[in-house]
Amino acid sequence: MSKTVTIRLDDETYQMIRHAAAGEMRSIANFIEYATVSYLTEEALVSDEEMGEILSDAEVLKNLKQARSDVAARRYTRVG
């Protein structure tokens, strides 16, 4: 079932989205949905091949384990 979401955009971002949507002959809502799904499926997720590389790299796993420990112990600094 579809959900309605309200977002707040600055004028520059809105104009970028509006122009991109018009260029693809999409409504703004459809373009935002398309762009979001595209990003999530292509950029935000790790492919099986990439996950295999990560899981086979002992140094990466060691660093991830240490990072998890640091976060749990609150040994980190927020930036931004």
Amino acid at position 11, single letter: D
pLDDT level of residue 72 (50, 70, 90 thresholds): very high
Higher pLDDT, 79 or 16: 16
| Distance, CA of 54 to CA of 33 (rounded, Å) | 30
pLDDT level of residue 44 (50, 70, 90 thresholds): confident
pTM: 0.56
Structural domains in the chain (count): 2
Same domain, 73 and 60: yes
Same domain, 59 and 40: no
Its domain, for residue 7, covers 1-45
Same domain, 37 and 63: no
Q: Where are the beta strands (DSSP E) in the chain?
A: none
Measure CA 71 to chain center.
Answer: 21
